[in-house]
Structure 1
């Protein structure tokens, strides 16, 4: 027997805003779509363009071919796109050596961190990168400079143990998708130990990461549970789940799709908060709300904590006025 609205328990969904796509992700996806339109398939993409399986599969269906390394490309005359996370300097050098035509979809805010690292290196500073080992953005940032130039610090304990060659000539930079609070704690330790350490002119953690975390902090204490829509390998999505837990939400889960919902996690709830990582499309948020609407009498309230108006230019070759 089907459940009627009269027998469904009420559920208030607090929808965090901002959520979902940031300007860097939006730009990266546009670059792949426009390249497919302009040059036709296949267009190769090195690494997942953004960390979201739904997005990757959608682009694959349009003719994008995803590879981990350039040597996997069996049609080297076709365009290749570098992902939003950024790449080590060796990757474009390799592409040039292979006479490949490439488009760089690196988020401009990640490129900003790359430039900072290069400036510090020119000033002969020891460089500390706060980030997560193995993340493509960290690999790309450390790969802007010779091996051993940048020291990765992941935790407060790492910051306490760090011993630079020259304590008076230091600088720190960060991955753009970190927990604002965790990063602040690490920076406090570094500044206490090394008062002259140079910092970025403008915060490295990107506006979208910060805004999404602040929205979660605003709603988490009022929610019985929170869903973060995003991929398990998405750093900014994982940080949103952690922020929700720390902000007092008893149940905080990261889900990719509605079919991943474990309904036992949501027994007896009356308020559910939902947000989405910066690489998760809105259609997946709607899918999850629809799934809850089959079991609950859902009312949706948007909770907005910031407005975002940031946009980034496309590569020159893909702009409408670009010469053929």
Structure 2
């Protein structure tokens, strides 16, 4: 492989994008969406002390949302689109190798996904004016976001090399990404509701005068969903990976100050067994004798590296398969595939 050849392939791919007016319209619409989201985020977090941290987390998650919505369209026809236009064979007969083509297409797809992050940079900088943001949160969240852009791009390029029809490969890319984003959530919700267990709730009884009897406990049993048995289904969700990998900032009262922490706290809480609940009216703090967010985070296990590993295996397998399918001379191609 040659860096010069990779750069040439990537430049040709990006030139086709930049010539399209719709590409600039798309980025302009994205900027307007971010402007509105940033304004609403400031209104949502205006009550807290870490306004900047909250707004920043929302903007980063919106960037990830736009990447998973738009990137499959831009990368899902990278190879078979050129094959349909009879331009791929013209490149393959030059000194450019299969690796140069594959890596160049991937670099171009990553660059188009990264363009959304570049557009979002002013809004990310604006969010920091609210204060409360942590340097570690900024670094880790942007790093994980960049990895997710690479994963989605690799899935799109891989499927574009494996499938003969551009429309079908784009649709399949959306399907794979949807499985990671929405499918994992569906499996978690339906799986947790399908698997049920008997929980026991303990509470203090009341005496004949209506006062709480702090010497005794009463209990009752009921069925509850067992989300603690299927929480792992969320591990490969890109938004869960982003939130779980990002360090958590807690407010003075012990609760997450941003969207990263709130998602992480929700997913980690799903790991806890719901089979025993206690309401102690005699406790000076009152209410449920549960764990604080910090205790929940400390007593549960992170899953972001497992989820990210699953994503990388999927993206790497599809990309490797496309590499083998694009190699020349081709031994076997789908029927009706155009070569030149």
Q: Which has the larger radius of gyration?
A: 2
> Do the two structures share a fold, i.e. TM-score over 0.5?
no
Q: Say which structure, 1 or 2, has more relative contact order (CA 8 Å, 6+ apart).
A: 1
The alignment's TM-score, normalised by the length of structure 1, stands at 0.27
